[in-house]
Amino acid sequence: SQQGEEDPQALSIQEGENATMNCSYKTSINNLQWYRQNSGRGLVHLILIRSNEREKHSGRLRVTLDTSKKSSSLLITASRAADTASYFCATEPQGGSEKLVFGKGTKLTVNP
Partner 1 sequence: DTGVSQNPRHKITKRGQNVTFRCDPISEHNRLYWYRQTLGQGPEFLTYFQNEAQLEKSRLLSDRFSAERPKGSFSTLEIQRTEQGDSAMYLCASSYRGSEQYFGPGTRLTVT
Q: CB under 8 A: which stretch of 51-59, 65-73, 75-83, 94-102 binds partner 1?
A: 94-102
Position 97 contacts partner 1 (CB under 8 A): yes
Position 61 contacts partner 1 (CB under 8 A): no
Strands 61-66 and 106-111: unpaired
Q: What is the DSSP code (8-state) at residue 71?
A: E
Q: What is the DSSP code (8-state) at residue 16?
A: T
Q: CB under 8 A: which stretch of 13-21, 34-42, 55-63, 69-77 binds partner 1?
A: 34-42
Nearer to partner 1, 15 or 61 (CB): 61
CA distance 21 to 34: 10
Q: What is the DSSP code (8-state) at residue 28?
A: -
Position 40 contacts partner 1 (CB under 8 A): yes
Position 112 contacts partner 1 (CB under 8 A): no
Position 28 contacts partner 1 (CB under 8 A): no
Query: How far does CA 94 lie from the centroid of its chain?
Result: 19
